[in-house]
Structure 1
């Protein structure tokens, strides 16, 4: 009778712990699914922002190329006028230099015209070039952020698999099996759930 009573107490304890584990694991699994969904949304937003920045960067690069082409055309006309000895035309064309090119041209002349033209000077930054560089950097940053958010979502998804193992072990421990097997399965489930919870605590959250 004593042995039967002790077995009944172990059975009740196993059932109570099993119900507790199932409840807690269900909540943790739902939380992981929620976080995975949120980080998936953050990933989509970051990818969209990266794409938008890349398109804007391409437009700015096109603007910079157009500005460079214009400066090249004006400078070619200026060189031709100087070569022809037409100082009046050369002076007129020089007044038509864009501000970005004028700065580089003056620096080139001040240094004795040692480089192969003012276009190689670091002072020459055609309109749109800086904006294109900034937008490309933003696109790279957002793309990297999107990949990071994707990994975070995957991490939470992997935890749901771990918690599914907890549910399986707990359910198996409630079957009509040898008490020591039931206790072993339940103990393993507790360990797995604890490890999963600790790992989850290290993950960033998004509300």
Structure 2
């Protein structure tokens, strides 16, 4: 086989490998763009859910504050009536205690009234307190999820830059240049492509 035939074979092989790399990497680049877009959408949804949960938590906290204010008012009236010896009025007011405050009040009496008031008891949990805590926890969870989704989208976007490098090296290898330079560029493009595919395989997928 003459030197010219060998050169032609290498050129054809380089062209075939180059076309294959260009085709595969073009598809992978499009896929990364699609995934970056999908994860960006997931980020927006998670941020929206976090904001909604935070608003609901604020409403629940407002409900808890209102419940506490109501219990304070009722208890103050009860103490005033009991202190004035108006037992009938005191009993009437006692019947208006909310279930949450009644539990704390009984525990307070049972333990010898150590605390200054039933409100200091751990049993006292105004209506809306648990809901507010759960909603705040949900908001924190969704916010963290949004940040994670944003990072995933960024990772896919960065990978498109790596694949763009593969496209550049492959395109340069197809130009009329010294054969060993073309082969070197193509080999480097193949190595970068393998690295990119290996990284891509570790990324989560969103359809």
**TM-score, length basis structure 2:** 0.98
Give me the CA root mean square deviation: 0.8
Distance 1:198 1:116 in 2: 65
Q: Output one character per residue of 1:4-33: Cα deviation in whole Å (capped at 9) or x when no partner.
A: 111111111110000000000000001001
Task: Please name the residue that 2:185 is paired with.
Answer: 185
Q: Distance in 1 between matches of 2:197 and 2:189?
A: 12
Residue 102 (structure 2) pairs with residue 102 (structure 1):
yes
CA distance in 2, matches of 1:120, 1:156: 52
Separation in 2, partners of 1:166, 1:76 = 77
Aligned residues: 207
Report 1:61-140 matches (<5 A).
Answer: 61-140=61-140
Deviation, structure 1 residue 82: 1.7
Structure 1 residue 153 corresponds to structure 2 residue 153:
yes
TM-superposed CA distance for 1:89, in Å, is: 1.4
Matched, 1:195 2:167: no
Q: Deviations over 1:106-157 (max 9, x none)?
A: 0110000001211111111101111010000011001111111111111000
Q: 1:79: Cα distance to partner?
A: 1.2
Q: 1:103 Cα deviation (Å)?
A: 0.5
Tell me the CA shift for residue 90 of structure 1: 1.2
Q: 1:167 corresponds to which residue?
A: 167
| Unmatched segments (≥5 aa) in structure 1 | none
> Aligned partners of 2:138, 2:68: CA distance in 1, in Å?
24
Match of 1:141 in 2: 141
* 1:164 CA drift (Å): 0.2
Please give the alpha-carbon distance, in whole angstroms, between the structure 2 residues aligned to 1:141 and 1:13.
Answer: 53
Moved over 4 A (4+): none
3-state SS of 1:192 partner: helix
Q: Structure 2 CA distance, aligned partners of 1:175 and 1:83?
A: 100
Deviation at 1:71, TM superposition (A): 0.3
